[in-house]
């Protein structure tokens, strides 16, 4: 987006004084494209790190890696008390940044005992040799809190900062992972230390962008308000915790860490589709700052332009990616396809949730009443998602007990199919809910054109794949040919959509215009 395309600048009241907040700091298309570009680059870097991990760690170690991630998720739940309100208030021009960061530092201390307790409660089925690695995972908690607070600040005024920070995060993981996991052979501990170093780099990037907003005084009144209203962000964060409990639930019921290893490997494929969600990262703060319905339409089109081909690529290359991670995981390639479909649906759901939450103005006034919060979209969205995850976990537990004793790969099949069956009606409900509360125009014609580009990409894949890709356990033989095939498919999609869609041509020209402005 060119610098000349500015939006109206609303006036906010801060401490009784009018202040002009420049909304061109939140540029939806710019932030979305930058976020997506960095996200895709991060995907490549993240995949490189994951390959190092999956090729060096045993399946059991990789399963424990997934379990640690699940335990960290609910151990840091209190971080949302600060970050939830921070983004909304920063986007509306309130000086809360310093209060947010300092408060998060104190909250981190109380979360470490929760993580240590979870090791005792949920890991009785894990081999004792992994306990040291589980304990080492606690070092990620404090930095997660501080990074979360800084990220929430930047999400409210410079959303693209999150993408830059993630780029540094992913870039650091490759050399550190190679040194600690591959060269020194530190295994699971090396992988955890790699993530720790990468998060430090991410934190410093977030600090750089948030620094101008940190030059304010700490306000205890804001902190009191956050604590008083903490039930709402905790309630909103609960779905994420429930979502990550499925890995622990599987281990507790089956006594195996191999299933989580298959599932985590297959989820690497699904995360490729999830990268498209970065294209819509700026719609939430833009709507908080009174964006228009047209912003929603354009952002949805941008999201679908990337989500559709990424879904197709994951389906076409599912077996290829699983083989690349480790030939042992190739048996779970169909699970990867199912998880990719689920992630595609959840990416669309994430967009609708950002739209609905961004349109809610219950907290425009300080200290809204309990009644107002209970009747807000913020509460309703969290309620719907909590119900979804509780239904999912309940059905998953039932089916795991029904099929108990079957091989892990079959249980993971059941796991993924349960998730798909529960997610489908959940997405449909959110689409209907969004249409009821908004009147934005859905860009059907553009979406159909994108689907035409995807169809062309599939044809090219079917014609060229057997000729170009050669399955070889040596990554040095296999990877270059795989990357060539992916590049051919992506080029086909870009070429077709550029030829048949006027707005795609305009989008690509804007991208090159923005890139040219960086060199001036």
Which pLDDT value is given to residue 33?
Answer: 59
Nearest to 68 by CA among 131, 149, 110: 131
Q: Are residues 419 and 449 in the same domain?
A: no
Chosen domain end from 418, 442, 466 = 442
345: containing domain: 22-442
pLDDT in tens, 407-442: 999 999 999 999 999 999 999 988 888 888 888 888
Which pLDDT value is given to residue 401?
Answer: 94
Residue 2 lies in a domain: no
Q: Are residues 394 and 421 in the same domain?
A: yes
Q: Are residues 206 and 62 in the same domain?
A: yes
The two three-digit tokens of residue 192, written as one number = 């955890």
Q: Are residues 29 and 148 in the same domain?
A: yes
pTM, two decimals, is 0.78
Examine the pLDDT at 111 and tell me if it is beyond 90: no
Would the CA dihedral through 461, 467, 472, 475 be positive or negative?
negative
Residue 285 — pLDDT band, cuts 50, 70, 90? low
Q: Are residues 239 and 286 in the same domain?
A: yes
Which pLDDT value is given to residue 85?
Answer: 82
Examine the pLDDT at 520 and tell me if it is beyond 60: no
Which pLDDT value is given to residue 395?
Answer: 96
Spatial separation of the C-alpha atoms in residues 35 and 42, rounded to whole Å: 10
Distant-in-sequence, close-in-space partners of 473: CB < 8 Å, separation ≥ 6: 327
Residue 220 lies in a domain: yes
**Higher-confidence position of 102 and 163:** 102
Residue 17 lies in a domain: no
Lowest mean pLDDT among 89-93, 105-109, 203-207: 89-93
Q: Are residues 475 and 364 in the same domain?
A: no
Lowest mean pLDDT among 31-35, 158-162, 327-331: 31-35
Task: Read off the pLDDT of each residue in 143-154 and give the average, rounded to a whole number.
Answer: 89
Backbone angles phi, psi at 14, to 5 degrees: -125, 120
Lowest mean pLDDT among 39-53, 90-104, 330-344: 39-53
Place of tokens 């042992």: 328
Place of tokens 């809910």: 433
As a whole-number percent, the residues of the chain with pLDDT over 90 amount to: 29
CA distances (Å), 130 to each of 73, 157, 183, in order?
19, 42, 21
Q: Please, what is the average pLDDT of the chain? A: 82
The two three-digit tokens of residue 81, written as one number = 């008390």
Q: Are residues 468 and 457 in the same domain?
A: yes
CA 130 remoteness from chain centre: 27
As a whole-number percent, the residues of the chain with pLDDT over 70 amount to: 85
Instruction: Look at the chain and report how many structural domains it folds into.
Output: 2
Chosen domain end from 442, 464, 479 = 442
Spatial separation of the C-alpha atoms in residues 161 and 150, rounded to whole Å: 10
Nearest to 382 by CA among 100, 175, 77, 168: 77
CA atoms within 13 A on the CB side of 412: 27
Chosen domain end from 442, 457, 487 = 442
Task: Read off the pLDDT of each residue in 320-333 and give the average, rounded to a whole number.
Answer: 90
Which pLDDT value is given to residue 460?
Answer: 95
pLDDT in tens, 236-280: 788 878 888 898 899 889 888 889 999 999 998 888 888 887 766
Examine the pLDDT at 199 and tell me if it is beyond 90: yes
Q: Are 287 and 355 a contacting pair, CB within 8 Å?
A: yes
Neighbours of 283 (CB within 10 A): 26
Residue 178 lies in a domain: yes
pLDDT in tens, 1-60: 333 332 222 232 233 333 333 334 445 455 555 556 666 676 777 788 888 888 888 888
Examine the pLDDT at 198 and tell me if it is beyond 80: yes
Residue 7 lies in a domain: no
Residue 180 — pLDDT band, cuts 50, 70, 90? very high
Which pLDDT value is given to residue 23?
Answer: 36
Residue 10 lies in a domain: no
Terminal CA-CA length for the chain:
15
Task: Read off the pLDDT of each residue in 354-381 and give the average, rounded to a whole number.
Answer: 75
Q: Are residues 355 and 232 in the same domain?
A: yes
Residue 76 is classified by DSSP as: T
Q: Are residues 380 and 467 in the same domain?
A: no
Backbone angles phi, psi at 17, to 5 degrees: -120, 135
Distant-in-sequence, close-in-space partners of 478: CB < 8 Å, separation ≥ 6: 323, 324, 469, 470, 471, 472
The two three-digit tokens of residue 437, written as one number = 């509360």
CA distances (Å), 282 to each of 306, 439, 512, in order?
16, 19, 20
Q: Are 14 and 492 a contacting pair, CB within 8 Å?
A: no
Stated length of the chain: 520
Q: Are residues 30 and 168 in the same domain?
A: yes
Nearest to 145 by CA among 196, 101, 113: 101
Distant-in-sequence, close-in-space partners of 282: CB < 8 Å, separation ≥ 6: 26, 27, 28, 30, 31, 32, 35, 159, 160, 299
CA atoms within 13 A on the CB side of 451: 6
CA-CA-CA-CA dihedral for 500, 502, 503, 505, to nearest 10 = 80
Q: Are 63 and 261 a contacting pair, CB within 8 Å?
A: yes
Spatial separation of the C-alpha atoms in residues 193 and 41, rounded to whole Å: 22
Q: Are residues 382 and 447 in the same domain?
A: no
CA 111 remoteness from chain centre: 22
Q: Are residues 460 and 477 in the same domain?
A: yes
Residue 101 lies in a domain: yes
Neighbours of 459 (CB within 10 A): 11
Would the CA dihedral through 280, 286, 290, 295 be positive or negative?
negative
pLDDT in tens, 478-514: 888 998 999 999 999 999 999 998 888 887 777 677 6
Residue 479 lies in a domain: yes
């Amino acid at each position: 987006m060119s610098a000349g395309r500015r939006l109206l600048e609303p006036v906010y009241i801060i401490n009784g004084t009018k202040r002009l907040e420049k909304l061109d700091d939140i540029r939806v298309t710019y932030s979305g494209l930058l976020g997506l570009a960095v996200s895709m680059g991060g995907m490549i870097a993240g995949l490189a790190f994951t390959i190092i991990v999956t090729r060096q760690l045993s399946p059991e170690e990789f399963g424990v890696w997934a379990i640690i991630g699940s335990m960290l998720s609910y151990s840091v739940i209190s971080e949302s008390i600060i970050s939830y309100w921070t983004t909304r208030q920063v986007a509306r021009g309130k000086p809360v940044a310093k209060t947010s960061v300092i408060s998060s530092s104190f909250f981190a201390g109380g979360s470490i005992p929760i993580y240590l307790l979870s090791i005792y409660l949920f890991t009785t089925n894990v081999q004792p040799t992994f306990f040291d690695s589980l304990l080492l995972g606690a070092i990620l908690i404090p930095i997660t809190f501080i990074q979360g607070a800084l990220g929430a600040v930047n999400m409210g005024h410079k959303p693209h900062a999150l993408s830059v920070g993630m780029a540094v995060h992913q870039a650091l993981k490759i050399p550190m992972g190679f040194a600690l996991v591959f060269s020194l052979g530190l295994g699971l501990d090396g992988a955890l230390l790699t993530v720790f170093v990468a998060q430090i780099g991410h934190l410093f990037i977030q600090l750089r962008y948030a620094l101008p907003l940190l030059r304010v005084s700490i306000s205890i009144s804001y902190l009191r308000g956050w604590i008083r209203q903490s039930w709402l962000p905790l309630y909103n964060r609960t779905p994420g915790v429930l979502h990550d409990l499925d890995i622990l639930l599987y281990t507790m019921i089956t006594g195996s860490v191999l299933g989580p290893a298959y599932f985590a490997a297959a989820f690497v494929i699904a995360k490729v589709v999830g990268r498209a969600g970065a294209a819509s990262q700026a719609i939430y703060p833009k709507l908080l700052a009174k964006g228009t319905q047209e912003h929603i339409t354009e952002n949805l089109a941008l999201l679908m332009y990337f989500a559709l081909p990424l879904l197709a690529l994951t389906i076409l290359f599912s077996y290829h990616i699983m083989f690349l991670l480790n030939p042992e995981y190739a048996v779970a390639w169909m699970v990867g396809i199912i998880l990719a479909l689920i992630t595609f649906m959840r990416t669309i759901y994430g967009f609708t949730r950002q739209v609905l939450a961004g349109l809610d103005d219950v907290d425009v006034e300080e200290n809204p009443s309990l009644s107002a919060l209970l009747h807000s979209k913020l509460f309703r969205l969290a309620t719907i998602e909590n119900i979804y995850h509780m239904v999912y976990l309940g059905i998953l537990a039932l089916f795991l007990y029904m099929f108990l004793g079957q091989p892990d790969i079959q249980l993971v099949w059941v796991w993924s199919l349960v998730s798909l069956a529960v997610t489908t009606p959940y997405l449909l409900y959110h689409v209907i809910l969004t249409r009821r509360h908004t009147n934005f125009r859905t860009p059907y014609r553009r979406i159909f054109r994108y689907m035409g580009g995807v169809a062309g990409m599939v044809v090219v894949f079917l014609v060229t794949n057997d000729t170009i890709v050669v399955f070889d356990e040596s990554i040095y033989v296999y990877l270059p040919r795989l990357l060539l095939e992916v590049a051919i498919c992506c080029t086909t999609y870009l070429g077709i959509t550029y030829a048949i869609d006027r707005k795609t041509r305009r989008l690509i020209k804007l991208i090159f215009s923005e890139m040219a402005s960086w060199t001036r």
